[in-house]
């Protein structure tokens, strides 16, 4: 399985995006280190992940999905549990 980085800008004020968040939480393993930034473990390619995720977004929302498996990463002040998840899953 690979790790995909998912980042988005939700541009419809007041809209209920619960279905989007529920979808992202449905993956085998996930981590949400920042407000609009997730890591998900999946067998999907970045393109396939993008296509599934955007079903839960409005047409004016912005989305980036990048396969980060095996890539170097650095971070600051995310806490022990999130730091450990990143170290274990990239």
Encode pLDDT of 55-74 as tens digits.
999 999 999 999 999 988 99
Average pLDDT (8-37) is 92
Question: Distance between CA atoms of 67 and 39, rounded to whole angstroms?
Answer: 9
Confidence of residue 14 (pLDDT cuts 50, 70, 90): confident
Element (H, E) at 5: strand 2-9
Q: Does pLDDT of 15 surpass 90?
A: no
> CB count, 10 Å around CB of 32?
16
Place of tokens 């999130």: 82
Domain borders along the chain are: 2-89
> CB count, 10 Å around CB of 23?
16
2-89 topology per CATH: Alpha-Beta Plaits (3.30.70)
> pLDDT tens for residues 30-43?
999 999 999 999 99
3 state DSSP class of 31 = strand
Q: Can you say how many angstroms the Cα of residue 41 is from the centroid of all Cα atoms in its chain?
A: 9
Q: Does pLDDT of 54 surpass 90?
A: yes
């Amino acid at each position: 399985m690979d790790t995909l980085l998912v980042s988005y800008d939700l541009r419809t004020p007041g809209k209920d995006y619960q279905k989007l968040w529920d979808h992202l939480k449905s993956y085998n393993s996930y981590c949400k280190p920042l407000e609009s930034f997730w890591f998900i473990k999946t067998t999907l390619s970045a393109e396939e992940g993008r296509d599934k995720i955007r079903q839960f977004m409005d047409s004016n929302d912005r989305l980036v999905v990048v396969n980060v498996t095996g890539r170097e990463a650095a971070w600051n002040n995310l806490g022990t549990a999130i730091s450990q998840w990143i170290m274990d899953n990239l």
